[in-house]
Structure 1
Amino acid sequence: MKRLINLTPSKPLKLLLGILPFALILVIYLIASDARLAENANDKLLPSFSQMGAAINNLAFEPSKRTGEYLFWQDTFSSLHRLALGIVIAALLGFSIGLLTGAIPTLHSPIAPLLTVISLVPPMALLPVLFIVFGLGELSKVALIVIGVAPFIARDIQRCTQEIPLEQLVKAQTLGASTWQIIVRVLTPQLLPRLINAVRLSLGAGWLFLIAAEAIASTDGLGYRIFLVRRYMSMDVILPYVAWITLLAFLVDWLLAKINLWCFPWHSAGNQR
């Protein structure tokens, strides 16, 4: 008798099982939307796909009467620019701090406890402080992403650095390598794929901080548009924007996974063994 824990679905079945939850959600939404619209044609809670398509067509393919911009694409570009800038800065900062504190004990002792405390501070609680210090411009939004993401990356890289076998460091020193040569030529190559994994894991938080900052103080962006139209209960705009953000997040995660596979195939092969 085969146990359920030992049953592995075939590739076609795995694909079908992966699609099934999304199909069920769509069917349930269509049924609920049709039922509400049948009772009230002006219902805004569950708009039909045609209503959502018309709203996004207006934002994506018709220029704004006030600015002349295509608002959907302008919002997308602004949000992705802020997210990319914040994540890149956070990755560089987190990688540097994590590598140095993980590799050098005299840096680990004073900095690691401080890093732990900083990582426990809710970034959203600092948003008013960032607005006061940096103003309502782009800097405060990027700073929120950096503050929210960098400590997580730093602690993850720190842990990964300390997990590298001590034998490698001893062998490098036996061959005459200095501290910086060990950091650059032994540790860094092994930690770069782990950095990409850490960035992938932190993207969800990065999107959260971005949307929150845009909702509070911005003139464009995906988060700004969602919170702007909420006062009109424009679910025909909100739901497609949420779906678009989800798709962008998925594509960014997929791209980072492919970059990790292309640049560091040995790391992926090692994880599969």
Structure 2
Amino acid sequence: MKRLINQRPGPVSTAALALLPFVVLALVYLLASDARLAENPNDKLLPSFTTLAESFVRLTSVPSQRTGEILLWQDTGASLRRLAQGVGISAAIGLILGVALGAIPLIRSGFAPFVAVLSLIPPMAVLPVLFIVFGLGEVSKVVLIIVGITPFIVRDLQQRVQELPRELIIKAQTLGANSWQIVLRVILPQVVPRLIDAVRLSLGTAWLFLISAEAIAATEGLGYRIFLVRRYLAMDVILPYVVWITILAYLTDFLLKQISRRAFPWYHNGEPGR
């Protein structure tokens, strides 16, 4: 008898199994929405799919009477700009510190405990401090993302560097490479694809901090809009925004994965399906 652990679905079965949870979730929502609307046609908690579709079309095509701009695209642009700045700066800092901590024992002995302690501080707990120090503008929102995900990236890359085969370092030194050359030609090429993985893993956390900061102090952004309309129980706006954020997060993750596959095919040779 073939063991369950050894059974692999074919392409069609894989696609069907991937879609199944989404179909089930949509059916559960549909049934719950129909039940609530049957009792109260004006119920706002679970609007129908038709209402959600009409709201999404309005959000993506009808300009705001106050600003003259289309709200969804305005909010998306503001949030993506903040996210890109925060994640980009975090990735750069994480790469530099992660390689330094992993490759140079003197730096690791001096700063690794400090980074470990920083990674344990809840970023949301220091949000008021960030608002006091950096104000309520763009800087504090970007800094919150940096504070939230940089320690994770640093520690992940440090661990990756330390896991590199020691033979590579020894061979490079035997051939006369100095420390700088070892970092640039041996360690860095091995670590960059792992940096992309670390960024992908931290994207969900970065979105969480971004939405939280926008909800507290912002005049535009996806998080700002969601918390603005919550007082009116406008689920026909909130749910499309939540779905849109999910789509953006998925597309960002997919794009980073494709970049990694194309730039570092050797790194993905052991993945299933290749």
TM bin, normalised by shorter chain, reads over 0.9
Match of 1:168 in 2: 168
Structure 2 Cα separation of the partners of residues 271 and 58 of structure 1: 42
Match of 1:215 in 2: 215
Specify every segment of 5 or more residues in structure 2 that has no aligned partner in the other structure, as ranges. Answer: none
Amino acid of the structure 1 residue aligned with 2:4: L
Match of 2:112 in 1: 112
Amino acid of the structure 2 residue aligned with 1:27: L
Structure 1 Cα separation of the partners of residues 89 and 220 of structure 2: 22
Equivalent runs, 1:66-77 vs 2, <5 Å: 66-77=66-77
1:57-97 Cα deviation digits (max 9, x unpaired)? 22221111111111110000100110011000000001100
Aligned length: 273
Structure 2 Cα separation of the partners of residues 62 and 104 of structure 1: 56
Structure 2 Cα separation of the partners of residues 7 and 66 of structure 1: 58
The 3 A distance-change label for structure 1 pair 271 and 14 is closer
In the alignment, structure 1 residue 5 sits paired with structure 2 residue 5? yes
Deviates more, 1:30-39 or 1:205-214: 30-39
Match of 1:45 in 2: 45
Structure 2 Cα separation of the partners of residues 112 and 101 of structure 1: 7
Match of 2:32 in 1: 32
Structure 2 Cα separation of the partners of residues 59 and 168 of structure 1: 55
Match of 2:240 in 1: 240
Specify every segment of 5 or more residues in structure 1 that has no aligned partner in the other structure, as ranges. Answer: none
1:170-206 Cα deviation digits (max 9, x unpaired)? 1111111110010011100110000000000000100
Structure 2 Cα separation of the partners of residues 235 and 271 of structure 1: 40
1:123-180 Cα deviation digits (max 9, x unpaired)? 0001000000000000000000001011000000000000011111111111111100
Structure 2 Cα separation of the partners of residues 225 and 56 of structure 1: 14
Q: CA RMSD in A?
A: 1.1
CA-CA distance at 1:271 after TM superposition = 4.9
CA-CA distance at 1:4 after TM superposition = 2.0
CA-CA distance at 1:2 after TM superposition = 2.4
CA-CA distance at 1:40 after TM superposition = 0.4
Amino acid of the structure 2 residue aligned with 1:133: V
The 3 A distance-change label for structure 1 pair 271 and 107 is farther
Structure 1 Cα separation of the partners of residues 62 and 143 of structure 2: 33
1:202-224 Cα deviation digits (max 9, x unpaired)? 00100000000000000000000
Structure 1 Cα separation of the partners of residues 225 and 118 of structure 2: 31
Q: Give the 3-state SS of the residue equivalent to 2:255 in structure 1.
A: helix
Structure 1 Cα separation of the partners of residues 270 and 27 of structure 2: 41
Match of 2:226 in 1: 226
Structure 2 Cα separation of the partners of residues 260 and 152 of structure 1: 20
Match of 1:82 in 2: 82
CA-CA distance at 1:270 after TM superposition = 4.3
Match of 1:129 in 2: 129
Q: Give the 3-state SS of the residue equivalent to 2:269 in structure 1.
A: helix
1:225-251 Cα deviation digits (max 9, x unpaired)? 000000000000111110110111000
Equivalent runs, 1:15-30 vs 2, <5 Å: 15-30=15-30
- Normalized against structure 2, the TM-score is what? 0.97
CA-CA distance at 1:5 after TM superposition = 2.0
